[in-house]
Chains A and B, each alone.
Chain A
Amino acid sequence: MQLKVKEELFDEPTCEHNIQKKEKKACKTAVPGSSTGGCALDGAYIVLSPIRDALHVVHGPINCLGNSYNQRTSESKGNETFYMYGMTSSINENDLIFGSEDKLKKGIVYAVNKFNPKGVFIYNTCVPALTGEDIGGVARELTEKLNIPVVPVQSQGFSGGKNLGNKIAGDALFEYVIGKKEPNIDILTDYNINLIGEYNIKGELFLIKKALSDNGINLLSNITGNATMEEIMYSHKAGLNVVVCSKALVYLARKMEEKYGIPFIEESFFGLSSTNNAMLHIAESFKDAKLIEKVKKNIESKTKIIRKEIEPYKKFLTGKRVLLYTGGVKSWSLISALNDLGMKVIATGVKKSTEEDKNRIKEFDANGNIIMLDNGNPVNLIKMIKDEQADILLAGGRNQYTAIKSLIPFLDVNQERSNSYTSYEGIVHLGRQIYLELNSPVYDVIRKAN
C-alpha cells in the first residue's frame, strides 16, 4: 500500500510542531467531530490546476473531482485553457476490485490524443492509495509513451489537509517539471524573478505583473496562475524567487535554493505598504543601485496616486474594526492592507499559519493587541465578533452566510472573492468593497425591524 507521502514533506522548519516536538507530524490534522477544511487533494489541485496547458486528471471515484472542478476563480489568458475541464478516471466498484491502472492509462491516452496538452498531472486520491495502485508507474510509462511530462501527485486526502497538499504539489513540480528545459535567451533580462504561490485569482497576477514591469522587473515564471508547462520548466533560470503564499510553497522555494542556488524572499502584494515593500525588497535582492533608485522613484509616485484614490474610503473606514479569518499568508498580509485603509484589525485567524506567519502578525501589530484566533468554528467567530464589537468580517465563503445570518457585514477575501485585491489597483478595490459593504443599507433595514 502506498499510504505514506514523503517523510520529508512533514519536515518544515518554519512549523511550530516541528520545533516543539521532535516527531515529524504533518501540519495539524483535522480534529474528528469538528468542522473541517479541505484535504490534500484540494490543496494540490488548487496549486497545480491553474497550469493551463496541462491536463489535470484526478484518479479516484467520480466525486473527488465532481465536487470541486471549476470552482476557483483562477483566470487565464491564452490559447489553451485545459484547466476548465475536470477529468477523472471515475473509479467504480469493479475498478476497485480489479484495479484501475489500465483504465487510467487508457483515459489519459485518449485525452492526450484529443486535447494535445503539454503535460499531464495525475492526482492520487484515498481509494487508489488504499488499494495500492501505482500511479508513479503509470506516470513513468506514459511519459515515455506520450513524450510529454506525466506527473504523479501523491495527494490522497487522508494524508493531511490543504497545506500538505500544497506542499505535495510543490514537490511534484520540483521533481518532475522544474529544470527540464532551458528558456529562450531573448526572454531573459537582467532582473528575472519567479512568483511562487500566486494563482491569479480574479486576475490578480495581471496587476502584480504590471507593477513589476513598471519597475523593469521581468516575471520569468509564475507558479502557477496562468502558467504554461514550459514556463515552469525553465523557472530555474530566475535570479530570485518571490513566495507570495508563505506556508504553502516555501518548501518549493527552499528546494530550489538548495538545488539551483536561487535565493528567495517572502512577500505580500496585499496593500499599499506591502506592495511597496515587496518591490523594494526585490530590487534590493538584485543589489543593483540603478534598479533600487528606479523602484524608489516609482514607489513615491505610485504612493501619491493611490493615497489620493483611497482617501474617500479611508475617511470613512478609519477606526472601523475588522475581524480577519483567513488562511496562512493572508492572516498577516491583509492586516497591512487594512492598516493602509485606516482600519483596526482586532483579531486574525491563525489556524493555517506558521510560526513565521505569527511573527509577521506581531510585526504589523503596533499595540500588541491583535487576538490570534485558532479555532474559528462558526459559534466562536460570531461570539468574538459580538464581544469585540467588530464592524465587519473578512473571511472565506464557508463563513459568509454564518456572518450574514448574524447581521454582520462580510467580505470574501478567499479564493471565491469577486475582486482582485493585490498590488496598487487592488488596494483601491479593497477599500471600495469594504466601504460598500459597510454602507449597505440592507443591514439597517433588518436591524430596525428587530
Chain B
Amino acid sequence: MAKMTKEEVRQTKDWMKTEEYKELNFKRKSIVINPERACQPLGAVLCSAGFEGTMPFVHGSHGCVAYYRNNLSRHFREPIAAVSTSLTEDGAVFGGQANGFEGFKNCLNLYKPKMFAISTTCMTEVIGDDLGAIVNNARAKGFLPEDVPAPYANTPSFVGSHIDGYDNMLAAIIDTLGVKSESVSDAINIIPGFDTTTGNINEIKRLLTIMKVPYLVIADYSNTLDSPLNGEYKLYNEGATTLEDTKNCVNNKATIALQKFSTKKTIALLADKFKQEAKAVKSPVGIKFTDEFLMAVSEITGKEIPKEIEDERGRAVDSMTDAQQYIHGKKFAIFGDPDILTGLTSYLLEMGGIPKYVLCSNGNEEFKNDVEALLKEYGCDEGEVYIDKDLWHLHSLVMTGPVDMLIGPSHGKFVAREAGVPHIRLGYPIFDRVNIHRYPFYAYSGVINLTTWIVNKFIEIVDETSDDAHFELLR
C-alpha cells in the first residue's frame, strides 16, 4: 500500500472527468455518492412547523430528530423544535408503545403543545409499530388528553423522500382535523408544498391580497420559520395555520397546491374524501407558470386580475428583456426537488437559457415527462433530464459536457468548484448563504430576483476575470 503520489492523484482525478468514467458512473447501482435529498420525516417536521402550537413528534430512534433540527435550523437560521420517542434496543424487541406513552407525558409537561404531529423513522417502520393503536391506547390510559389532536403518518426513510413525508403528514393532519359542514366559504386554500423559501409563501399571500381573494395558507410556516426578533424566544411562534382554520379548511371553496409532487396525497384526500375542488398548479416560477397560477385563481374565485399585478408582470418582462442577452445561449445544470426544477426549467427557457442537465434525485417518470415536454415546447434539444441520480452523477455530467452555471442547493458547491463555474443557491438546503430563503423566486417578483442573481453573477465573473484592456464601466 504505497502512498499515492501527487501525480497519481492527478491522473485519477483527470480520469474521473472522462466519458469512459461517466459511462461507468451511470452504470453504478449499488452505492449513492453525495446524495441530494432528505428523508420523509424531515418533510413531516417541516409541515408540522406550519401549524399552531404543534410539536413534531417523531416515533423512532432519537438521532434522526437531531439531524432534522440541525438541518432545518441551519437553513432557516431559526430555532426548530421537534421531539423523539428515543427508542433503544428494548424498543426494537418489545415495540415502541411504552416510549410513545412516556414521550406524550414528558412532552406535554415540558412543551405543552396544542397538537402532536406524529411521524415515524425507519426503525419503527421496520419493527412494525402500529401508530393508530399507540395513540388510542395512550388516550385510553390517560397519557394523551382528548383535546390534543394527534394526527399520525407513516414516513419511512427507505421509501420516497422529504416531499412524500410532507405530503403524508399534511394529509394526515387535514384528515384528522377536517370536519365537513354544510356551508361553503368563499376562501380558497393555498398549499405551498415542500418549499423552504418563506419569501415565496409571502409573495403568494401578497398577490392574493391585492386580488382581494380571501385565502387560507395550510401549513403556513412563513412566520414560524421566519419570525421577527423582538427579544423573546417562543417555542411556538405566532402566524401558523390555526387548528380552527385547519378544521374548517375542508369547507373552503377550493384548494390550490403550488407544488404537484409534494401534495399528491393531500390533493387526492381533499378531492375524494371532502369533495372539494382541489388541484395542483405548476410552481409559479417564470412568467408562463405565474400567469397560469393567477388565471387559475381568477377562474375559481371569479376575481379579475387587477392592473397592479398586470403592471408587475410588465416590469418583470421588462427586466427579462433588459438582461436576456446575458443568459441567452448559456448552459445550466440544475438540481433539487422536482417541482422547483420544473418551474426553473420553464424560466430558463423563457430567457433563452439552455437547461442542459436537469437532475432530480427524487423525481419520477411523470416529472421527467413534464420537463421533457417543456424542453420540446421551446425547441431545446440539448436538455437532458435525469431522475434518481446523485451529485456524483452530476459531477460526471458537467465534467464531460461543460455548463456555464449550476443552480441548486448548497451541496452542489463541490461540483461547481471542481468545474470552475458559478453556483446560484436555490431550494433546500442552503447552508452557506444568508437570507436567500427570504427572497421569493415565485411569481413576477421572483422573475426579477432570479434574473438579478443569475445575470449579475455572470457579469461579476466577467469583471473579475477580464484583463485591463477589457475592464470597462459598461457591461
Contacts and interface: CB of A to CB of B under 8 A. Distances in A.
Interface in A400-441: 400-407, 416
B122 A61 contact: yes
Interface stretch (B102-110, B253-261, B343-351, B419-427): B102-110
A290 B16 CA distance: 52
Interface string B1-26: 10110100100100010000100100
Contacts of A189: none
B210 interface: no
A116 B229 contact: no
A67 B38 contact: yes
A114 B26 CA distance: 13
Given A3-B92, A84-B414, A382 B85 contact: no
B39 A57 contact: no
* Most interface-central of B66, B87, B230, B231 (chain A CB within 10 A): B66
Contacts of A127: 122-123, 126, 158
Given A91-B158, A398-B73, A377 B110 contact: yes
Interface residues of B, number: 85
A86 B83 CA distance: 26
A227 interface: no
Contacts of B39: 61-63, 66-67
B213 to A, nearest CB: 33
Given A39-B62, A108-B31, A401-B73, A159 B3 contact: no
Contacts of B108: 33
Interface string A160-204: 110000000000000000000000000000000000000000000
A401 B74 CA distance: 9
Contact of A92 (B16, B82, B83, B158): B158
Given A33-B83, A402-B79, A158 B235 contact: no
B63 A106 contact: no
Interface in A65-99: 65-71, 79-80, 84-93, 95-96
A21 interface: no
Contact of B34 (A69, A148, A161, A230): A69
Contacts of A108: 31
B86 A36 contact: yes
B74 A404 contact: no
Contact of B158 (A71, A93, A230): A93
A31 interface: yes
B61 interface: yes
Contacts of B91: 158
A243 to B, nearest CB: 24
B69 A35 contact: yes
Contacts of A110: 28, 30-31
* Most interface-central of A39, A57, A104, A159 (chain B CB within 10 A): A39
B30 A446 contact: no
Contact of B233 (A80, A116, A378): A378
Given A446-B229, A450-B231, A63 B38 contact: yes
Contacts of A382: 233
Contact of B105 (A33, A37, A95, A230): A33
A41 B34 CA distance: 17
Given A66-B38, A86-B35, A397-B70, A29 B233 contact: no
B32 interface: yes
B74 A131 contact: no
A313 to B, nearest CB: 26
Contacts of B159: 92-93
A379 B235 contact: yes
A261 B83 CA distance: 44
Contact of B32 (A35, A90, A404): A90
Contact of B35 (A62, A96, A399, A405): A62
B83 A157 contact: no
Interface in B53-73: 57, 60-71, 73
Given A33-B107, A35-B83, A158-B123, A126 B230 contact: no
Nearest to B12: A116
B393 interface: no
Interface string A219-248: 000000000101000000000000000000
B356 interface: no
A36 B62 contact: yes
B88 A404 contact: no
Contacts of A60: 122
B37 interface: yes
Interface string A15-30: 0000000000010011
B83 A398 contact: no
Interface string B144-176: 000000000000111101000000000000000
Interface in B283-338: none
B121 interface: yes
A52 to B, nearest CB: 12
A136 interface: no
B193 to A, nearest CB: 19
A438 to B, nearest CB: 17
Nearest to A36: B62
Interface in A123-178: 125-127, 130-131, 147-148, 157-161
B62 A157 contact: yes
A368 interface: no
B232 A36 contact: no
Contacts of B233: 378, 382, 402-403, 405-406
Contacts of A13: none
A108 B28 CA distance: 11
A66 B35 contact: yes
A107 interface: yes
A65 to B, nearest CB: 7
B127 interface: yes
A304 interface: no
Nearest to B410: A70
A62 B33 CA distance: 10
Contact of B88 (A29, A69, A115): A29
Contacts of B232: 405-406
Nearest to A3: B89
A111 B32 CA distance: 10
A31 B9 CA distance: 47
Nearest to B25: A114
Contact of A67 (B68, B77, B79, B392): B68
Interface string A27-62: 001111111111111100000000001000100111
A159 B87 CA distance: 9
Contact of A85 (B12, B34, B60): B34
Interface of B: 1, 3-4, 6, 9, 12, 16, 21, 24, 28-39, 42, 57, 60-71, 73-74, 77-79, 81-89, 91-93, 99-100, 102-108, 110-111, 121-123, 126-127, 156-159, 161, 227, 229-235, 392, 411, 414, 431
28 contacts: A3-B92, A30-B84, A32-B84, A32-B86, A33-B57, A33-B105, A35-B83, A39-B61, A62-B161, A67-B38, A70-B411, A85-B34, A86-B34, A90-B32, A110-B30, A115-B12, A127-B123, A130-B126, A158-B92, A158-B123, A228-B3, A378-B233, A379-B111, A398-B69, A405-B233, A407-B231, A446-B229, A447-B231
Interface of A: 1, 3-4, 26, 29-42, 53, 57, 60-71, 79-80, 84-93, 95-96, 103-108, 110-111, 114-116, 118, 125-127, 130-131, 147-148, 157-161, 228, 230, 377-379, 382, 397-407, 416, 446-447, 450
Closest 3 A/B residue pairs (Cβ): A39-B63, A107-B31, A33-B106
